[in-house]
Amino acid sequence: MNLSKATTGKCLFCGTGLKHTFVDLGMSPPCESYRKPEQLNEMEPFYPLHVYVCEECFLVQLQEYISPENIFSDYAYFSSYSDSWLQHSKNYVDIVTDRFQLNQQSQVVEIASNDGYLLQYFVAKSIPAMGIEPAANVAEVAIKKGIPTVVKFFGEETAKEQVAEGKQADLLLGNNVLAHTPYLNDFVKGMKIILKPQGVITMEFPHLMRLMAENQFDTIYHEHFSYFSFITVEKVFNTHGLTIFDVEELATHGGSLRIYARHPEDSSKPVSEQVLELKSREEAAGFTHLEHYFSFGEQVKETKRKLLDFLSKVKRERKSIVGYGAPGKGNTLLNYCGIRTDFLDYTVDRSPYKQGQFLPGTHIPIFHPDKIKETKPDYVLILPWNLKNEIMTQMAYIRDWGGQFVVPIPEVNIYS
């Protein structure tokens, strides 16, 4: 039965009472709350990772168990530590500059601009760019790169303040931020306000269709409040007076959508075939029927069983396993599966911010990647599996001692 005992809360978009479970991953600590050595004996907060689906608008969502202020005010994720993400951002800048003829007279605004990982490429083209970023520690890095950054959460109020200061966007973009706000309606209202009459919005976010098809339950964590199908995101934008006129399916984050939106009055950008095709594909797959969403939970449990079977077998053979990466998705996976140092000796990460700390909940230590050369493990479990090709290339030397890579999602795969 997919009904929880009582209606727990209201849909972030349409306000309908939520009573249908999409998947329940138990209790987990906030995924970016890395522990310092002196915190290991302190109490650690765990919150539910119980995901619901709205029976009216089919928005898949987490309740606001933790406020965004607590998650994002001092943030551990710096986008610039992934080479493939930087390349993705640079390619995007080239594409939109050309497609929408951006120049020195244009204004680019990025919401959740992080450490300037993307806006730096507009600045290099002399296109005026500014960021809006709530995490002061991350915004500071962007400001040092010469990227003007407003340290605030984005929504209707921030948008009105910027317009009052004469700032409106020819291009308004947000990568992996739409899913990060529990104030979905306020956020989309703000986008409409700050967009120039002929302006374009682009948003990237993980695609629910891919999450389900590829069993990517570990991309569920407290920072991700919403999990969008195209059908639902179009509904949200239409309600707030924005028209999605194009969509691209991307390989990033295990399969994302990049949507392009405009004001309804702007007839210079007709709705593309891709929009109509993706909508009909989602409808055919069942995204407008509750039953489709109920199949996911069992699939997730089976993945957990298979991973634990593999790890148990390897440990009984007295072999060593370490992790690569300390991403949010890894923390969901490890906490849900109950994997601690009994299975994983340690993990490594390129971000100096994370080295010397411990993973939340599981308290697995995080080292510099060079640690792998020292200990020569039999297996390296790739936690940011969306970057597996980049990581396997970087770490190809583990094959010198017969080491193998393990990728846990969509199910356990071993790469020699």
| 126-183 confidence digits (pLDDT tens) | 999 999 998 888 899 999 989 999 999 999 999 999 999 999 999 999 998 999 888 9
CATH architecture of 296-415: 3-Layer(aba) Sandwich (3.40)
What's the pLDDT band for 31 if we cut at 50, 70, 90?
A: confident
Question: SS in 3 state form for the chain?
Answer: CCECCCCCEECCCCCCEECEEEEEEEEECCCCCCECHHHCCCCCCCEEEEEEECCCCCCEEECCCCCHHHHHCCCCCCHHHCHHHHHHHHHHHHHHHHHCCCCCCCCEEEECCCCCCCHHHHHHCCCCEEEECCCHHHHHHHHHCCCCEECCCCCHHHHHHHHHCCCCEEEEEEECCHHHCCCHHHHHHHHHHHEEEEEEEEEEEEEHHHHHHCCCHHHCCCCCCEEECHHHHHHHHHHCCCEEEEEEEECHHHCEEEEEEECCCCCCCCCCHHHHHHHHHHHHHCCCCHHHHCCHHHHHHHHHHHHHHHHHHHHHCCCCEEEECCCHHHHHHHHHHCCCCCCCCCEECCCCCCCCCECCCCCCEEECCCHHHHHCCCEEEECCHHHHHHHHHHCHHHHHHCCEEEECCCCCEEEC
Q: Provide the pLDDT for residue 3.
A: 35
Residue 79, pLDDT > 70, answer no
Q: Where are the domains positioned within the chain?
A: 79-269, 296-415
pLDDT class of 4 with cuts at 50, 70, 90: very low
Check if 79-269 and 296-415 are the same fold.
yes
pLDDT value at residue 80 = 52
Task: Of 344, 252, 253, 360, give the one whose Cα is nearest residue 307.
Answer: 344
| Residues forming a β-bridge with 130 | 109
Residue 329 has what pLDDT? 87
pLDDT for 6 equals 38
What confidence tens digit (pLDDT) does each residue in 311-321 have? 999 999 999 99
Closest by Cα among 249, 259, 255, 247 to 210: 255
pTM for the structure as a whole: 0.87
Cα gap 130→258, rounded to integer Å: 20
- Regarding the domain delimited by 79-269, which CATH topology (the fold level of the hierarchy) does it fall under? Rossmann fold (3.40.50)
Name the band, by pLDDT with cuts 50, 70 and 90, for residue 76.
very low
pLDDT at position 171, please? 98
* Share above pLDDT 70 across residues of the chain, in percent, rounded to a whole number: 94
Q: Inform me whether the pLDDT recorded for 7 exceeds 50.
A: no
pLDDT digits (tens, 9 = 90+) for 341-377: 999 999 999 999 899 999 999 999 999 999 999 999 9
Res 77: pLDDT: 52
Q: What would the pLDDT profile of 236-290 be if each residue is shown by its tens digit?
A: 999 999 999 999 999 877 799 999 999 999 999 999 999 999 999 999 999 999 9
4 vs 85 pLDDT, higher one: 85
What is the token pair recorded at 54?
Answer: 């709205």
Q: Residue 2 pLDDT > 50, yes or no?
A: no
* pLDDT over 90, % of the chain: 82
Rounded to the nearest integer, the mean pLDDT of the chain is 92
Q: Read off the pLDDT band of 69 (50, 70, 90).
A: low
Strand 169-175 relative to strand 321-324, pairing: unpaired
pLDDT bracket for residue 386 (50, 70, 90)? confident
**Buried-state track 84-119, b at ≥16 Cβ within 10 A, e below 16:** ebbebbeebbeebbeebebeeebbbbbbbbbbbbbb
| Angle CA 79–329–84, to nearest 5 | 35
Cα–Cα–Cα angle for 105, 106, 112, rounded to 5 degrees: 145
